[in-house]
Structure 1
Amino acid sequence: MTAALVLAGATAALAADRPTPSGLPVPRYVSLKFDEVNARSGPADDHRRLWIYRVKGLPVQVVAETKEWRKVCDPDGGSAWVHRRTTDGRRMVMRTKSTALALRRKPEADLRPFAYLNPRSLAALDRCSEGWCRIRAGRTTGWAPAGELWGTDDRPQCR
């Protein structure tokens, strides 16, 4: 029994140390590069197209990859394969809740909001620190709580 546990632990450690085809960690966030991106049931063009993403800049989380394909999770919980050339390493976030999100000039909850990020809106992610993220939407840059934005949680987002 002990030998089996040791072997199982060693196998898990080897899997965790195994590099990805891209050399980048999984899961990780990327954004969609084009206005139309085919979402497929598997990692090849001959797999069935499930839907078409129609939002350039949509943040998605890469949860698996092959050399040419990325399995992504989207803000609505959908999971599909997209070609690597359709993704961009620039980090974006999305307000998925149905209410506007107050932005502040500094990462402090008691400051008065100076702008709002509307529901389903996208913003570029500059950086996150201590539970706050600095985001940019158009010409407006402000701070928002990380937990209020989709695209900041490092845990896998799709089941």
Structure 2
Amino acid sequence: MRFSRSQRGYRAARKSRYSAILAVSIVLIGLFGFTVAGTAGPTSFTGRQTGLMIPRFVSLSASRANMRVGPGIQYLIKWEYVARGIPLEIIDEYGNWRRVRDSEGVTGWMFHTLLSSKRTGLIAPWQKQFASLRKRPSTEAPIIARLQPHVLVSLQQCDGAWCSVSVAKQLKGYISQSKIWGAYPSETFGSCFFCFDGMFRFVIFAL
């Protein structure tokens, strides 16, 4: 069985006049304590609004959501996202706005209510090969399905090496954590304290 989906459907066309407005918006850097371009550094820090760790992964809670060039409705819309559940990475906070980055490196600002703590992931957007969804967290386990890059999955738990996922509410299985955009390398999280991994050992997941 194979699942495929192009990420092109996740994000609508770029709004016009963005380049002209961006040149003006960059002047605001340093004046109000936020930025409108660039990427986050590798160092983690505590968010000034929520006290949560940055960067961190979240998912889109709305079926349609605007990404803006700055933290406010007065700023131009950079992209419109049209798929609920896609993973996004929070890389900064300013008031009720969150600066996010998608799997292609596009960054911008979204209102906090558009984002959910529910964890999702995209299958290896950086590669062309299909990824194997397995019955157990082992390279020796039977393959349930092959997932094309950019396929959206729900993440139930990850132990730093494997993630338990569901696909389109139809299939459940395990996929290598290194094949997912939406979970950091070696990150652990999940909904249970002790989960038997099918290989006669127990793994502790952090809530």
TM-score, normalised on structure 2?
A: 0.63
**Among 117, 120, 124, the residue aligned to 2:150:** 120
RMSD value, Cα: 1.9
Q: Which runs of 4+ in 1 moved over 3 A?
A: 16-19
Aligned length: 140
Q: Which runs of 5+ in 1 are unaligned?
A: 1-15
The answer to whether the aligner puts 1:77 opposite 2:102 as a matched pair is no
Higher helix share: 1
Map of 1:136 onto structure 2 = 166
**Among 80, 89, 109, the residue aligned to 2:139:** 109
Query: 1:124/1:47 Cα in 2 relative to 1: closer, same or farther (>3 Å)?
Result: same
Q: Which amino acid aligns with 1:128?
A: C
The answer to whether the aligner puts 1:98 opposite 2:100 as a matched pair is no
Q: Percent same amino acid among aligned pairs? A: 26
Query: 1:26/1:19 Cα in 2 relative to 1: closer, same or farther (>3 Å)?
Result: closer
Query: 1:19/1:31 Cα in 2 relative to 1: closer, same or farther (>3 Å)?
Result: closer
Q: Which amino acid aligns with 2:53?
A: P
Query: 1:18/1:121 Cα in 2 relative to 1: closer, same or farther (>3 Å)?
Result: closer
Query: 1:18/1:74 Cα in 2 relative to 1: closer, same or farther (>3 Å)?
Result: closer
Residues 57-72 of structure 1 mapped to structure 2, 5 A cutoff = 57-72=85-100
Query: In 2, Cα distance between the equivalents of 1:44 and 1:123?
Result: 30
SS in 1 for 2:181: coil
Map of 2:28 onto structure 1 = none
Map of 1:149 onto structure 2 = 180
Query: 1:17/1:89 Cα in 2 relative to 1: closer, same or farther (>3 Å)?
Result: closer
SS in 2 for 1:147: helix
The answer to whether the aligner puts 1:24 opposite 2:55 as a matched pair is no
Listed one character per residue, the Cα deviations across residues 112-158 of structure 1 (whole Å, up to 9, x for unaligned) are 21122233211111111141111111121111111111001269xxx
